[in-house]
Amino acid sequence: MKIASPQALRGANASALTEQLVTFVVDGQAFGISALTVRDVLRRQPLTRIPLARAEIAGAINLRGHIVSAIDLRARLGMAPRPANCPAMCVVVEHAGESVCLIVDSVGDVISVDCAEIEPNPASLQPMWAQAAKGVHRARDHLLLLLDVGQLLTF
C-alpha cells in the first residue's frame, strides 16, 4: 500500500486513512517505512562480503536458507560510517518480489499515522534523501522521515 500524496488526502475522508509504519533510527535520524513491506526484524546477522559491490552493499545474509542482500542505510543515505561499538539491526523488506535487509542502528515501534498529517518533504532536505522520502510526520518530540522502499533501493 502506498501513501497518497498529502495534497490528495485533504478531502473529507482524509482523516479516516491511516498507515502502519515501522520506525527505526539511523545516525540519530528517525525514519518510518510501511509495515506492509516489512517481513522481519532481526538482530544483526553474520554478513558475507560481496566482492566489488558498491559501498552501500554490506554483504549478504542467510535468512532461513535464502540469500538476502544487505544494504547499510548509513552508506546508502550518505551518513557517517557506523562506529565499531554501535549495534545494528536488520529490517528485512520485500521489494519487487525479493527480500532485502536494511541495516539500521535501532528499531522502534510500529505506529499508526493519519495520512492527512503527513507533510511534503521540506525544501531543505538533501536531494539524495528527497528521492527516497515520501513525506514527513511530526511525532511528539521529533520528525519522522517516511521512506519509500522502492525509491530507496533504486536511486
Q: Would you list the DSSP string of 109-148? A: EEEEEEGGGEEPPPTTS-HHHHHHEEEEEE-SSSEEEEE-
Please name every residue paired with 144 in a beta bridge, in sequence order, or none if there are none. Answer: 30, 137
Q: Which of 74, 86, 89 is nearest to 129 (CA)?
A: 74
Does 2 or 57 have the greater pLDDT score? 57
User: pLDDT tens-digit profile of 66-103?
Assistant: 999 999 999 999 999 988 888 899 999 999 999 999 99
Structural domains of the chain, ranges and CATH numbers in brackets: 18-154 (2.40.50.180)
Phi, psi of 37 (to 5 degrees): -90, -15
Can you give the pTM of this predicted structure? 0.83
CB 63 within 8 A of CB 92: yes
The string of DSSP codes covering 78-95 is TPPPPPTT---EEEEEEE
Q: Which of 79, 45, 72 is nearest to 58 (CA)?
A: 72
CB 26 within 8 A of CB 152: no
Neighbours of 13 (CB within 10 A): 8
Per-residue pLDDT at 127: 83
Phi, psi of 120 (to 5 degrees): -65, 160
User: pLDDT tens-digit profile of 19-69?
Assistant: 999 999 999 999 999 999 999 999 988 999 999 999 899 999 999 999 999
**Separation between Cα atoms, residue 74 and residue 152, nearest integer Å:** 12
3 state SS of 149: helix
3 state SS of 47: coil
